[in-house]
């Protein structure tokens, strides 16, 4: 079974500014990386996709970022 609408892509940006920016066009930013997740790899997502023919709501999906410098200290 093919799961449609299961892939989400996030682009992470970095900046030398101490200002928190919500949008990439708010200041000098540099693209750091693209992060892709395919929720179809999760068993619960595949089960819901197979049992809800008209689609279903995935709830909140929050990508978690870890500050590696913080973990190293």
Sketch the domain layout of the chain as residue ranges.
7-72
d(CA 25, CA 67): 24
Which pLDDT value is given to residue 34?
87
Mean pLDDT of 41-63: 76
User: What's the whole-model pTM score?
Assistant: 0.51
- Residue with the bigger pLDDT between 70 and 15: it is 15
Judge whether residue 28 has pLDDT over 50. yes
| pLDDT for position 4 | 57
Cα distance between residue 10 and residue 52, in whole Å:
26
């Amino acid at each position: 079974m093919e799961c449609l609408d299961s892939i989400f892509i996030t682009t992470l940006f970095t900046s030398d500014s101490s200002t928190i920016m919500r949008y990439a066009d708010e200041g000098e930013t540099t693209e750091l990386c693209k992060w892709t997740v395919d929720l179809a790899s999760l068993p619960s997502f595949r089960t819901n996709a197979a049992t809800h023919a008209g689609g279903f709501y995935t709830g909140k999906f929050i990508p978690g970022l870890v500050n590696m410098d913080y973990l190293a200290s």
